[in-house]
Amino acid sequence: MVTVARAQTLEMQRPRLRFRISRVIFLVLALVVTALALTPFILTVSGSFKTKSEILDWPPTIIPRIFEWMNYVEVWTNSHYFPQWIVNSLFLAGFHLLIYLGICSAAGYAFARLRFPGATVLFLAILGSIMVPGQVLWVPKFLIINQLGLVDNLFGIALPDLAEVFGVFFMTQFFKSLPKELEEAASIDGASTFRTFRQIILPNAYPALAALSILRFQGEWNAFQWPLIVVRSPDHLTLPLGLASFQGLFGVNWNWVLAGAMFNAVPIILLVIFFQKYFIRSAASSAVKG
Amino acid sequence: MAVLAGGAVRRPSRFRHWRQWVTAYWFLAPWLIFPLVFIAGAIVLAFYFSFTSYDLLSDPVFIGLANYQKAFQDESFLHALRNVATYTAVVVPSQTFIGLVMAAILDQKLPFRRFFRIAWYLPCVASSVVTTLIFMWLFLPDGFINAALNFVGINVRINWLGDEATALPSIMFMNIWATAATFMLIFLAALQDVPGPIYEAANLDGAGPIRQFFQITIPLMRPAIFLVVLLGTIGCFQLFDQVKIATNGGPNEATLTVTYLLWRQGFRDLNMGYASALGVILFVVIFAVSLVQRRFLDVKPDY
């Protein structure tokens, strides 16, 4: 214990010094974390430009001696399915955004604004379904898809993905935050609920729909487990599945594997850089729920 | 049921909104049909098939609890459970602690905060396939992990993913790398909710930043820590992608997980009934673990 007088003099000198030192320590730590997070990506970019022989060198080089741009061309041409995988993944993401955004915002609107019997029970049931791990449903979902004749078909991936519940919660929360006056004015003018939704509510929901599109695009573009179960033929694979099979096909040609991986990673990395706040907010909102 | 005098009066009012009900169901139906089939229907089917023997080729045969009995005598399943338990016991505390430290660093008013936040978050947004492929390459005997170890004077040429002793720890490492920042974001949101005056009071009392962190920040963040531990545990029990892509459960079942076994039983060996039972057991285990965690961790902070 120090006397009051000494405590005061200490406080005059210490906070500044401590502030500086802790700031430097924190900055050094931040740089260490940054290095750990980015190094694998930087090495991947470097590896994707190495020649077939240089990528096998020991010790591995950090900067390629010769920049082999052809890896990016060869990955397209050597497996003639590669462009097809990109098309398949784009199709899945496009189909999902087109259909899912429409049906999940309609459902979200019903939960947020319309009164109907069973609303609370239904909402809680949907909330509870999050507790069921996706893998538990692999077998029954596959058997349903099999009955529908959609095994090894892109729609076999796309249709069950529409059962996604995240978007419905997301849109419900958003519609609850909109001022009620919006619809009240419309209903005085005699507009039907459907017209109000399409002409007044949806145009006001563009920011939420944009955020949801980005998150769902990421989900569909990166999806691995369900597509793995549904599709088999090489020309029906999605880009992540194709890349995973690549490594078996090409064995030691890591320069091609890494170049191929860039086609999957770069679009998402660009999205995160340009639309940072959407990703951060969605993670933060999961904290609010808890 | 008896008709009371009041019932006649109430009845029209109960259905007054029927037009709105119909509209509401029209809004719901286009989406709801999918979760009804692919979640609710699938849950029912998962239970049903878990009591059957079904290989897709012939009709399912009801065999009662035999699949469940088989599971608890199946050496592979018990081994997978042990692997997953080990994996969870290492990964959940590590990623929680690292996520918390990362959030604490970002919560300082450092220069380049926005850059740090994006850079740290990138491992979480790349697909599991990409991060797994990258680490398979880094973990090669001639790869960068061994090169880095040699650089600091540890002369090894370990086949990280190919050696029984190091395969599971390697997958632990890559997943901590890939997920820590997700949890950092949850902690960051929680840190910003801690009331500032508490720190001012602690400053006046002469508590240093480290002491403040352990005696103020961590106790106040218990709800966030609970959430992170819960989400982390659920994620760990579902470990699949990395195992499927990098090791196929090997070498010698060293990285076999419950979900990988489920996939192998269902979609390689076509034991749909047994795979369903494994799924139901996985669900029960995850549910039980999260209840236990709620009991010990979920405490409201008292200011």
- d(CA B95, CA A258) in angstroms, rounded, equals 27
- d(CA B227, CA A78) in angstroms, rounded, equals 46
Contacts of B240 in chain A (CB under 8 A): 135, 225
Residue A165 C-alpha, separation from nearest chain B C-alpha, in angstroms:
8
Domain boundaries, chain A: 4-70, 81-250
Q: What percentage of chain A exceeds 90 in pLDDT?
A: 47
Interchain pair A244, B17: CB under 8 A: no
In A235-264, the residues whose Cβ lies within 8 Å of chain B are 240-241, 243-244, 247, 254, 257-258, 261, 264
Q: Residue B79 half-sphere exposure, CB side, CA atoms within 13 Å? A: 13
Please give the average per-residue pLDDT across A206-221, as a whole number: 91
pLDDT reported for residue A249: 61
Interchain pair A36, B267: CB under 8 A: no
> What value does the mean pLDDT of chain A take?
85
Q: Is residue B162 part of a domain?
A: no
Contacts of B276 in chain A (CB under 8 A): 139-140
Residues B237 and B208 in one domain: yes
Nearest CA to A229 out of A141, A147, A169 is that of A141
Residues B63 and B85 in one domain: no
Residues B115 and B190 in one domain: yes
pLDDT reported for residue B5: 46
Residues B62 and B184 in one domain: no
Residue with tokens 């980005």: A214
Q: Give per-residue pLDDT as tens, B115-143.
A: 998 999 999 999 999 999 999 999 988 88
Q: Give per-residue pLDDT as tens, B69-86.
A: 999 999 999 999 999 999
Q: Is residue B107 part of a domain?
A: yes
- Report the CATH number that the domain containing residue B208 is assigned in CATH: 1.10.3720.10
Confidence check: pLDDT of B218 > 50: yes
Interchain pair B209, A34: CB under 8 A: no
Q: How confident is the model at residue B300 (pLDDT cuts 50, 70, 90)?
A: low
pLDDT reported for residue A254: 87
Cβ atoms < 10 Å from Cβ of B192:
11
Which range has highest mean pLDDT (A198-202, B87-91, B112-116)?
B87-91
Select from A18, A26, A247 the Cβ nearest to the Cβ of B110: A26
In B219-248, the residues whose Cβ lies within 8 Å of chain A are 223-224, 226-227, 230-231, 234, 237-238, 240-241, 244-245
Confidence check: pLDDT of A31 > 90: yes
Give chain A's radius of gyration (CA, Å). Answer: 26
Q: DSSP for B110-172, please give it.
A: -TTHHHHHHHHHHHHHS-HHHHHHHHHHHTSTTSHHHHHHHHTT------GGGSTTTHHHHHH
Residues B102 and B227 in one domain: yes
Residues B58 and B201 in one domain: no
Which range has highest mean pLDDT (B40-54, B153-167, B203-217)?
B40-54
**Is A187 an 8 Å CB contact of chain B?**
no
Please give the average per-residue pLDDT across B215-225, as a whole number: 84
Least confident of A51-55, A160-164, B58-62: A51-55
Q: Is residue B85 part of a domain?
A: yes
Residue A161 C-alpha, separation from nearest chain B C-alpha, in angstroms:
8
pLDDT reported for residue B94: 96
SS (H, E, C) B222-278: HHHHHHHHHHHHHHHHCCCHHHHHHHCCCCCCCCCCHHHHHHHHHHHCCCHHHHHHH
Residues B80 and B31 in one domain: no
Contacts of A163 in chain B (CB under 8 A): 34-35, 37-39
Q: Is residue B56 part of a domain?
A: yes
The residue among B67, B88, B109 that closes a domain is B67
In B264-293, the residues whose Cβ lies within 8 Å of chain A are 266-267, 272, 275-276, 279-280, 282-283, 286-287, 290
> What value does the mean pLDDT of chain B take?
87
Confidence check: pLDDT of A251 > 60: yes
**Is B80 an 8 Å CB contact of chain A?**
no
Residues B184 and B247 in one domain: yes
Residues B194 and B238 in one domain: yes
**Is A35 an 8 Å CB contact of chain B?**
no
Q: Is 0.90 surpassed by the pTM of this model?
A: no
Confidence check: pLDDT of A19 > 80: no
**Is B150 an 8 Å CB contact of chain A?**
yes
Contacts of A22 in chain B (CB under 8 A): 108, 209
Residue B26 falls in which region: left (phi positive, over 0), alpha (psi -120 to 50) or beta: alpha
Q: Residue A127 half-sphere exposure, CB side, CA atoms within 13 Å? A: 14
Q: How confident is the model at residue B9 (pLDDT cuts 50, 70, 90)?
A: very low
Please give the average per-residue pLDDT across A220-226, as a whole number: 95
Burial class (CB in 10 A: 0-12, 13-18, 19+), A32: exposed
The residue among B51, B67, B83 that closes a domain is B67
Please give the average per-residue pLDDT across A168-183, as a whole number: 88
Q: Is residue B165 part of a domain?
A: no
Select from B127, B182, B279 the Cβ nearest to the Cβ of A139: B279
| 0.95 surpassed by complex ipTM | no
Residues B120 and B53 in one domain: no
**Is A143 an 8 Å CB contact of chain B?**
yes
pLDDT reported for residue B16: 66
Residues B61 and B190 in one domain: no
Residues B208 and B264 in one domain: yes
Q: Is the model more confident about A6 or about A247?
A: A247
Domain of B46 in residue numbering reads as: 16-67
Helix (H, G, I), strand (E, B), or coil: what is residue B52? strand
Type of residue numbered A236: H
pLDDT reported for residue B295: 78
Q: Is residue B170 part of a domain?
A: no
Q: Is residue B144 part of a domain?
A: no
Interchain pair A107, B31: CB under 8 A: yes
Q: How confident is the model at residue B298 (pLDDT cuts 50, 70, 90)?
A: low
Q: Give per-residue pLDDT as tens, A99-127.
A: 999 999 999 999 998 888 888 999 999 88
Confidence check: pLDDT of A9 > 50: no
Tokens of A18: 């401590």
pLDDT reported for residue B104: 87
Instruction: Say if CB B235 and CB B254 are below 8 A apart.
Output: no
Least confident of A62-66, A174-178, A278-282, B268-272: A278-282
pLDDT reported for residue B56: 86
State the count of interchain CB pairs (< 8 A) between A and B: 287
**Is A37 an 8 Å CB contact of chain B?**
yes
**Is A218 an 8 Å CB contact of chain B?**
yes
Interchain pair A287, B189: CB under 8 A: yes
Domain total in chain B: 2
Please give the average per-residue pLDDT across A266-289, as a whole number: 73
- According to CATH, the topology of domain A81-250 is MetI-like fold (1.10.3720)
- d(CA A152, CA B7) in angstroms, rounded, equals 56
Q: Give per-residue pLDDT as tens, A124-157.
A: 998 888 888 999 999 999 999 999 999 999 999 9
Confidence check: pLDDT of A11 > 80: no
Interchain pair B142, A143: CB under 8 A: no
Least confident of A20-24, B179-183, B231-235: A20-24
Q: Give per-residue pLDDT as tens, A54-90.
A: 887 788 888 888 888 888 888 888 777 899 999 999 9
pLDDT reported for residue B67: 93
Please give the average per-residue pLDDT across B152-173, as a whole number: 91
Residue A139 C-alpha, separation from nearest chain B C-alpha, in angstroms:
6
Least confident of A46-50, A110-114, A161-165, A185-189: A185-189
pLDDT reported for residue A22: 76
